[in-house]
A = this chain, B = another copy of it.
Amino acid sequence: MTPSPTQANSSELATLVVRASERVKSDFARAVAVFDFPPPLARAVLLLDQPAQMGCLATQMSCDQSYITRLADDLVKRGLATRAPGADRRVQVLTLTPAGEDLKAKLATAVSRESSVVNALTATQQSELSVLLSGIVNAP
């Protein structure tokens, strides 16, 4: 029995998903490289909408908390954020400095400008894509 076309194509489709993601990531990396910024750090800056506690950031980035500690070290060293204990003094609250807010705005613009997702698809296509990918992400 020859392999069903569905099976052959599904593997190609899986690699296409991965390649699209690599494209998204490289768009992102290229956009932030201009600012001499490692992508994970840029991601953290863009997620800091309001002062956030570190564990929360770890959840959003779905990574280990200890990794956030190191990103935060870097942000503070660059003068882009401050770390201050919260009301509950176990937690540390990260807050962007004015320089951080400033950079965040520039990053957002650059990232959006470089985004193939934005540039290559119409709004309609974008929402179709969103539906399909949600199906994958939310699969059991």
Give every chain B residue within 8 A of A125 (Cβ-Cβ). 132, 135
Give every chain B residue within 8 A of A56 (Cβ-Cβ). none
Distance of A112 from chain B, by nearest CB (Å): 6
Q: Is the CB of B117 within 8 A of A23?
A: no
Question: Which listed residue, B23, B108, B115, B136, touches A20 by the CB 8 Å rule?
Answer: B136
Q: What does the 1/0 interface line of A111-140 toward B look like (CB < 8 Å)?
A: 110011111110101111110111111111
Distance of A66 from chain B, by nearest CB (Å): 20
**Count of A interface residues, CB-CB < 8 Å:** 47
Q: Is the CB of A19 within 8 A of B137?
A: yes
The answer for the CA separation of A135 and B115 in the assembled complex, in Å, is: 12
Interface majority SS (helix, strand, loop, mixed), chain A: helix
Question: Which listed residue, B10, B19, B20, B134, touches A126 by the CB 8 Å rule?
Answer: B10
A17 in contact (CB, < 8 A) = yes
What are 14 sample pairs from A and B whose C-beta atoms fall under 8 A apart? Answer: A9-B130, A10-B112, A11-B46, A12-B130, A14-B117, A17-B133, A20-B136, A23-B136, A23-B137, A116-B139, A119-B139, A121-B136, A128-B128, A132-B132
